[in-house]
Structure formats: C-alpha cells, structure tokens
Structure 1
Amino acid sequence: MRSLDVEVLVVGAGLSGVGAACRLSRMDPAVSYAVLESRPALGGTWDLFRYPGVRSDSDVHTFAYPFRPWTGSDVLATGEAIRDYIRDTAAEYGVDEHVHHDQRVISAAWSSGAGRWMVKAETVEGLVEHTARFLYVCTGYFSYDTGHVVDFPGRAEFDGPIIHPQFWPEAFEPAGKRIVVIGSGATAVTLVPALAERGAEHVTMLQRSPTYVLPLPAIDRVGGLLHRMLPERAARRAVRGKNVLQNVGLFEASRRFPRAVRGALARANARLVGDDIVRAHFTPTYDPWDQRLCVVPDGDLFAAIRSGRASVVTDTVEAFTPTGIRLDGGTELEADAVVTATGLRVEVAGGIAFSVDGSPFLPHEHFLYKGAMFDGVPNLAVCLGYTNNSWTLRADLTSRFVCAVLEHLRATGTASATPRPETALDEGTPPFELTSGYLERSRHLLPKQGTAKPWTVRQNYFADLRLMSARRVDDGTLEFDPLPVRTPVLAAADRGRS
C-alpha cells in the first residue's frame, strides 16, 4: 500500500469531504491533496443509509453545493439522488481520482520539527502511514459503525427481526407485516409512510414524546416561478437565497416567538390530521427548534395516518414480548418486525487518536475556533455542518475558510496556522445547541465553545458568512508560524495540574 505525502489530506469522502476536495481543486488545480475514505464507495451517510424512503431532511437546494446547484424541482431529495449527485460532482471535478478507499484513519500526530501530520490508516493490507501539511477531517459527527442501541427489556424474547435503520437489511420485505417503528425523529417520520407505501399491513410509530413536524410542499412552486421568470443561473441563485432566508428566518422566529411558531405548526398539522391527533401526539413540551423540526413532504406522514395504514402511540416500552411490545400504559402492540429508530451515536472527528509533538489531545478538552479549528493545534480543521439548517451551508463555509487559510500560508511563506486565545477562555454553549437525545447523550464528547467570537458561532448562516470570510483570516487570533513551530498544546492544562 503506497504512502502519500500531500499538502492537504482530507478524511472522509461523503458530502462534506467531496465538497472540501472540490473547493481545494477550485482554489488551485495544482494543489496536492488526497482523500481517505474508510468505505469502498463515495457518498458517506448517503451510501450508508439505505432504509426505505431515506431522504434529505432539509431543502435540497441549500443542501447542494453552491458551486454545483441542484437542478431538480423537489424540495427534498431521495438518498439515491443525493448519492448520485455526490458521485457525479466528484467525477466532474476530478475528485474521484484522489480518493483512496478502504482506509480507516486511526491516528494523526503533528510534528513541529517536520511541520507535518503523520497519519496512520488501517487497510486490508495492514497499516499505512501518510504525511500532510494540513489535515482536514470531514467525517461528520456520528459513528458509521454503530448506532444508538437501547437495550430494551426482553429484546431477546421477540420472535421477529429487530432492525436499526442505519444497517437496513436489503432482504427485508415489509409487505403484509405489522411493523412498529420506535422513535419520532427524522428517520421515524420518513420510515412510517415509506413502509406503509411498500405494503405493510400496519405501521405504528411508537414515540416516548412528541416531535414538531413541519409539512412542506414536495415541489417548490415559487422556485418554479423564478425559473420561468429569470435566466437559469439567476434563478438558481434566487431559489437558493430564498431558501436560506426561509430557513434562517424560521429558526430565528422560533427562538424569538416560540408560542407563535408553536401555534402555526399545530394549525398546519391539524389541517392534515385533525386537532385530536395533534393534541395527543404532535404537541411537544419543548419549544420549536429546541430539537430539530421533522419535515414531511406533502404531509405524507399524516396521509398515512389518515388512511389507516399507520398510527401513532405515545408511551414508553415496558418490555418486548414474543409477539410485540408491551407498553408501560398496559397495552401491547402486536408486531412482526420492530424498527429501532433510536438515533445516532455521536463521534467527533471520526474517533481519530490525535497528538501534537508526542502529547495526546482529545477534541472535547479544546475550544473550537470559528467552529472549525482547535485552540493550540496547528494545521487541523474539522468540518461540522449545521444541525438547525442544511448541513452543507456550514460545511461549505468551513471548506472555503480552510482554503483561505492555505492561501494565506502560501502568500506569507509560513508553515502553520494555530488558533491561540490571548487570555483564558470561559466556556459557553455547546457547538450544537439542540436538546435532541443523541446530542444530550454526547455533550461530554463535544468540543468546547467560548462566549464570544471567534471562539463561538451563532448557528446563523449570515453571521457565520461574515465570521468565516477570507478577509478575516489574519485576525490576530490565528497565529501563522514559520518552521520550526513550537506548539505547547497542553501547556494550559499542565499549568492547571501543577
């Protein structure tokens, strides 16, 4: 297995990694870079997730790359369409020629003397070591190997299959089966109508607590009008801008006027499924956008409920039985199969073991600079998208920022870029402010944020657009050093222990 020595090493060939590589090639076609991907195919999440109905849960025009606009008219996009889009983009920009598959990065060590990262990856042929000037980790924020699995009492007693959506069995046939889907997030509200459409006898969504559901038209009629009125390029820019404004506007309105947004969502749902069902099963105790809204195109979840092919039960599991699930409320749901849409397992930076000059560091012990780099750590960036908007909006901002840092290094003849706070930082809110279960379970794994820029981000695209501007790279906090680089990453922690 050949070792690589490149200027930039990208880890991950999903939506974020391919987008990052495209940005690098657009910055300078001559830049030397490589992409390491643990799986045998491009696509990341969209190659991994194959459950029925899998789709984007934010509008696809902002979910797509700004340099390669989405050409369809759908508001959301299927997993297959997104997977094809990622692969077509990689081919168009020549990124696929730089991807090295079946290489799982397990460690990355920075050497100040060499001014490079030494990166070890597992392959079928054994360990291989690569070197790079800059390391950009685009692995998302959840583990591809395991989902969040709840050890429900009596699981082993159930006679049918128990399926986690992250590892959907290709051979499973839902037709004629009674299926219980445990969960109420984006995966569950997608699966329920999809399984009903595929001929399931009945699908029950069993939720511990309700989630806000936002019905949207499957086709963007305003976008269609803009395409008829404007030249193609202008229309695409206008549609994308409109959707960014809508997404940011809804989030900000939810934060400032939660009661009004709560009422609007309840009325929209009631028109599709009735007041009684909304009050019983779609009225959360928290405010909108405390957790992510679940988008349903043309209200397909509500249509499945109205048809009688699906239903919602709000209760908790007492135990699995051979024929179904017994609830704490005393009833039993009969089931031929159970789908545990119980969430993801958060994993920051792909679980890579990092060290700087021989000293290990853990991401959760460090502060995020502009949501992209770690305090005291040279030439390392992580790509974290939005949880309250389209992931790619933030991911692309980070990739453009990384390119700006690289260009500054070239222009100044410096070797490394290291975020360094002038004074000790106070810890602020977590990087993901949502109270969703998978994030609440993993707060201890997430990097820290400060209380002011550039050590915190607002999760607002327009604010982040300014924060991540290429004109703000040399901001006095990001320190550019020639070789040799002295990087006392753990100095502050050592002083605290002494």
Structure 2
Amino acid sequence: MNTPTPQHDDVDRPGDDGELFDVIIIGAGLSGIDAAYRLQEENPGVRYLIIERRDQVGGTWDLFRYPGVRSDSDIYTLSFPFEPWRRSEALAPGDHIREYIDETAHKHHIDSRIRFGRRVRSADWDSSTDVWTLTAERDIDGEVVEETFRARFVVFATGYYDYDNPYTPEFTGMEDFRGEVVHPQHWPEGFDHSGKRIVVIGSGATAVSMIPSLAKTAGHVVMLQRSPSYIYSAKQKEYLTPAIRKVLPPKVAHRVVRSRYALQTAALVHAAHRFPRFGKKMIRSGLEEYLPEDYPIDVHFTPDYNPWEQRVCMVPDGDLFTAVTEKSVEMVTDHIDHIDATGVVLKSGRHLDADVIITATGLQLQAFGGTVIRVDGDEVKPQDRFVFKSHLIEDIPNLAWSVGYTNASWTLRADMTARSVAKLVSYMRSHGYTHAYPHLGAEPMASKPAWDLQAGYVLRSPDALPKSGTRRPWVVRHNYVRDAIDHRFDKIEESMVFGHATTQRDDAKTALDAPPRA
C-alpha cells in the first residue's frame, strides 16, 4: 500500500479557513476509518478530512459503554480486511473493538486527518461550482460555534441510528418508580449495580449482551420480554483459526479466516431462509445443550417468526443460558401493565421487584446522522430517493452512504462501499470530472424498504432511510456473496451521469478534476 504522509496535522484549527478538500468523510467509526484507508490506498495524495462528532474514534463502539457490550457478529468479518484481528475471541468486547479501530487509524496515519467534536448539521451542494459546503457545530467552553467545511465529495459514515435519542416506549407509571431508570445507549459512567435487583426490558442484542455481565455482581436480574428472540450460542475458542495463523503470514491468515466466516454465515442465513425448520432445529439444539431438561424453551426462546426474519442474537459460549441455569438470571415473557414505586406490574398480575429498570428497548433509525441535505437550496428527504448499488443516492451528486448488512457483519458491505467510492473518486480525477451521480431515468420502478427485517426499530420508522428499488443496480440486497460477485465485475459508468461544474472558482479547479495519474 502506498499511504501518503498526512497533510493536515493541525486537526484543531477552525473549519472556516476556506480550504477545499477532495473528500470529506463524516464519522470515524468502522465505516469512516475503512473509507479513509481505501481512499488513500486508491488515490495517493488525495486531500481528505474526517469530521467526527465525538471526542475519539470508534463510533458505536465509543458510544456504547454498558457492561458486557460486545459484537453480535463474529469479529473476523467485523474487523477490517486490511488489518488482522489478532486476539482470540470470536465475539469481541466493545473496548477491544474500539482499541482496534484506534490502533488502525494511527497505524495508517488516518488519525491526523480527523477533526473531533464537530457535529455536521447540514450539507449544501452548489451545482455552479460542484462543491459541498458542510456546516458543523462545535462546543468551545460551553459556547456552540459554527464552522464550515468544503469538499468535492462527501461520504456519510454515520451509521443508521440516532445517537442522541434511543427508543423508549411510554410505560404507565414510570414517574412513580423510586429506583433508577437507565437506557443502555446513555449508560452512566461508574454506575454501580452490585447487589441490586435489576429488570432489563428487552430481548434484542443489547439485552442479551449486558445481562450475563450484570448478573455477575447484581443481586438478581430479570430479562423481561414481550416475545422471544432467536438466540444462538457461538463458541469463543476456535481451533481452526489458531492453526491457520500458525502456518500463514498474518495478513494472509486474516483473509482466509475472514472469508471462511463470511461464507459460513452467508450459507447459514441462506439455509435458514430456505429451510426454516432446519434453522429452528439448529438454534434449539444449542439451547438444549445449556438449559435444564425441563426448561420451558418454547415459552422464552421460541419466537413466532422464522430465523432471520429478525436478526438472530449471538451469545458467546451460551453465557446467557448458563446464567439462566444458575438462576442468577430469570426469563419472564409477559406484557407490562404499569410501573409502580417498587418495580414492574405485569398483565398476568405478577410484580417484579426492582431497584433498577434498564430499558433495552431499541434504537431509532436515522439516515445521514440527522444531517439536512440540500441540493441547490432544495432539501432532499432520504425516503424520497432510491439507493444505487447500496451506497449512492439517486440524483444526489458526489455523495455516498455507508451502511451494512442486516444478516452479516457491518464491515463486509462497508468495505465494499469504501472500495467503490475510492475507485469512483479515482475515475473522476483521471477523467477530469467534477460531479457524478446515479440517474434512474424515465422508466418507473416499484420500491421496497432498504432493510428487510421485521424488527421493531425498522417497522417503527419506515421512512427513515432511502428506499430500495426492485431491480439491480437499484435493489438493496442483504446477500454478501451476490454483492461480492457484482462488486468484482462492477462497471463504474453504469447508470451514472458524469460532468463538470457550470462555473468554477479558481480554488475549485484543483480538486477532483486533477490531472490523470502517471
């Protein structure tokens, strides 16, 4: 890899200095760091910047700090393909993931391109100059200061949910509760739950990750769910992976292990969709391995839908099931009637005593980090536009959106997006183009949701994300293998419009319309 020397070491200078960047990446999590690496790998000397609203890298893995936070898919495919994961666990703790992202950014000189503590509020495209102007807010000693940044191309690596406002349903009587109420997305630093009676409301990945950790020191933990989720036990100790690492160089071994896990997950998901009875039997066999023989599995662990109609939760070495067996965790499947001063009253009439209620009730979908996008002064609503090749947006110039799979690791598609954007930028530079965007044309096309899950956070916000078409290259698929094949044979010119700004300022002539590389 030919990595350029960082050009923007003074990351703390104000944003309104007038500098025009080739590319600005919004977000310094897995997607943002991946996008930066691929961009500079494909385009040595490219002038890019990362804007991050938080004070350090990590994105999701810096935001979530609740006990037991970890990946809910294997770390080998969640990690970067270009930077080997060297630890032994298959489902990695959140702090290890954040450290890995931070180390990768530093190793590849990406961290010097990041400006922290800026939240991008709006992005305005000017067709006369083919330049994006980003307006960001920054807190300086309690005062909100507005800054502007300019770029030819913008990559949104902001994730898919609202960092500020998690989903919390209205529970009657919550204001009467005398204990503490905590949402995992805003976990209090230093919160002491030892010896306390805890009710965790929720049955998704967050709940199943935190509960075994809470149970180690809490007095008692109840996992309260309206309906069950599929939960599958994954072994933490691998035998094949260490053997591969011993005989192959680190980067080669990582590629082999990563490919194996990607194909294995894709095969299991496909089999579960094609043969749902097989999927149910496979998941149930894992439950029976850990739970007592007379345990009511059908009540607490058997949903009324098929595997992968909603995301399957992963737990390492059956830790949740072990906690249930040891009775430090109790599963309760019921509906909440109301909250009172001392706990939760269920529709069945049972009362759950609680010192702490944790509302692991889900996320709120949000596109582009909540940034308002305008093209020549007209606001663009995400739900009104089709997604092209899963990362470009219909008729919006020089803008990419990085979003992962619902049934596989996020980074699998985020890296494909990063490579596609890097190649598109290279193509534009070599041909002297200053704008590019996908165009559907006059032929009508039906739409469908970009995410195919029946999960609550998707169903609650059907208009939060751009929409998928029903034919390629406008259909958003959640099939890594088919996408990987398409990506390998991708034609940059397909359904794309390329061109030049109608007018150009002097400083705008040296960005994406740079001369071809030798």
Q: Return the TM-score normalized by structure 1.
A: 0.95
Corresponding residue to 1:13 among 28, 50, 60: 28
Could you say which residue in structure 1 is the equivalent of 2:149?
130
SS at match of 2:296: helix
Could you say which residue in structure 1 is the equivalent of 2:64?
49
1:202-241 equivalences in 2 (<5 Å): 202-241=220-259
Distance 2:266 2:65 in 1: 29
Could you say which residue in structure 1 is the equivalent of 2:394?
375
SS at match of 1:179: strand
CA offsets 1:406-439 (integer angstroms, 9 cap, x no match): 0110121111111001333423331110111111
Could you tell me which runs of 5 or more consecutive residues in structure 2 were left unpaired when the two chains were aligned: 1-13, 504-518
Letter in 1 for 2:309: D
Change (3 A) 1:60 1:138: same
Indicate if the aligned counterparts of 2:178 and 2:342 stay in contact, CA closer than 8 A: yes
Could you say which residue in structure 1 is the equivalent of 2:515?
none
| 1:2 is the counterpart of 2:15 | yes
Could you say which residue in structure 1 is the equivalent of 2:316?
297
Could you say which residue in structure 2 is the equivalent of 1:493?
none
Indicate if the aligned counterparts of 1:281 and 1:313 stay in contact, CA closer than 8 A: yes
* Alpha-carbon shift at residue 471 of structure 1 (Å): 4.3
Indicate if the aligned counterparts of 2:223 and 2:330 stay in contact, CA closer than 8 A: yes
Could you say which residue in structure 1 is the equivalent of 2:91?
76
Could you say which residue in structure 1 is the equivalent of 2:510?
none
Corresponding residue to 2:423 among 380, 404, 412: 404
Letter in 1 for 2:351: E
SS at match of 1:444: coil
| 1:35 is the counterpart of 2:53 | no
1:293-372 equivalences in 2 (<5 Å): 293-372=312-391
Letter in 2 for 1:39: R
* Alpha-carbon shift at residue 26 of structure 1 (Å): 1.4
| 1:171 is the counterpart of 2:186 | no
Corresponding residue to 2:496 among 467, 475, 478: 478
CA offsets 1:153-210 (integer angstroms, 9 cap, x no match): 000111100000001112321211110000000000111111011x111110000100
The range that moved more, 170-179 or 303-312, is: 170-179
Could you say which residue in structure 2 is the equivalent of 1:489?
none
What is the percentage of aligned positions where both structures have the same residue? 41
Indicate if the aligned counterparts of 2:166 and 2:363 stay in contact, CA closer than 8 A: yes
Distance 1:250 1:270 in 2: 19
SS at match of 1:23: helix
Could you say which residue in structure 2 is the equivalent of 1:192?
211
CA offsets 1:210-247 (integer angstroms, 9 cap, x no match): 00011011122221232234444432222111101111
Indicate if the aligned counterparts of 1:25 and 1:93 stay in contact, CA closer than 8 A: no
SS at match of 2:463: helix
SS at match of 2:84: coil
* Alpha-carbon shift at residue 470 of structure 1 (Å): 7.0
Distance 1:431 1:78 in 2: 29
Could you say which residue in structure 2 is the equivalent of 1:494?
none
Letter in 1 for 2:78: F
Distance 1:352 1:425 in 2: 28
* Alpha-carbon shift at residue 264 of structure 1 (Å): 1.6
| 1:150 is the counterpart of 2:163 | no
Letter in 1 for 2:123: A
Indicate if the aligned counterparts of 2:43 and 2:426 stay in contact, CA closer than 8 A: no
SS at match of 1:104: strand
Could you say which residue in structure 2 is the equivalent of 1:105?
120
Indicate if the aligned counterparts of 2:292 and 2:325 stay in contact, CA closer than 8 A: no
Distance 1:287 1:250 in 2: 13
Distance 2:20 2:267 in 1: 45
Distance 1:483 1:73 in 2: 51
Letter in 1 for 2:121: I
* Alpha-carbon shift at residue 124 of structure 1 (Å): 2.2
Letter in 2 for 1:443: P
| 1:284 is the counterpart of 2:297 | no
Distance 1:89 1:427 in 2: 41
Corresponding residue to 1:459 among 456, 478, 485: 478
Could you tell me which runs of 5 or more consecutive residues in structure 1 were left unpaired when the two chains were aligned: 486-498
Indicate if the aligned counterparts of 1:46 and 1:82 stay in contact, CA closer than 8 A: yes
Distance 1:375 1:272 in 2: 49
SS at match of 1:242: helix
Q: Return the TM-score normalized by structure 2.
A: 0.91
Corresponding residue to 1:268 among 286, 289, 292: 286
| 1:442 is the counterpart of 2:457 | no
Q: CA RMSD in A?
A: 1.4
CA offsets 1:373-407 (integer angstroms, 9 cap, x no match): 11111101111111210000011100111011101
Distance 1:232 1:37 in 2: 30
Could you say which residue in structure 1 is the equivalent of 2:277?
259
SS at match of 1:445: coil
Distance 1:423 1:255 in 2: 35
CA offsets 1:85-123 (integer angstroms, 9 cap, x no match): 111011011111111111111111111110111111111
| 1:386 is the counterpart of 2:386 | no
Distance 1:457 1:445 in 2: 15
CA offsets 1:291-345 (integer angstroms, 9 cap, x no match): 1111010000000001110110000111111111000111000111010000011
SS at match of 2:54: coil
SS at match of 1:50: coil
| 1:430 is the counterpart of 2:449 | yes
Letter in 2 for 1:366: R
SS at match of 1:333: strand
Distance 1:467 1:478 in 2: 16
Letter in 2 for 1:455: W
* Alpha-carbon shift at residue 483 of structure 1 (Å): 2.4
Distance 2:372 2:87 in 1: 41
* Alpha-carbon shift at residue 49 of structure 1 (Å): 0.4
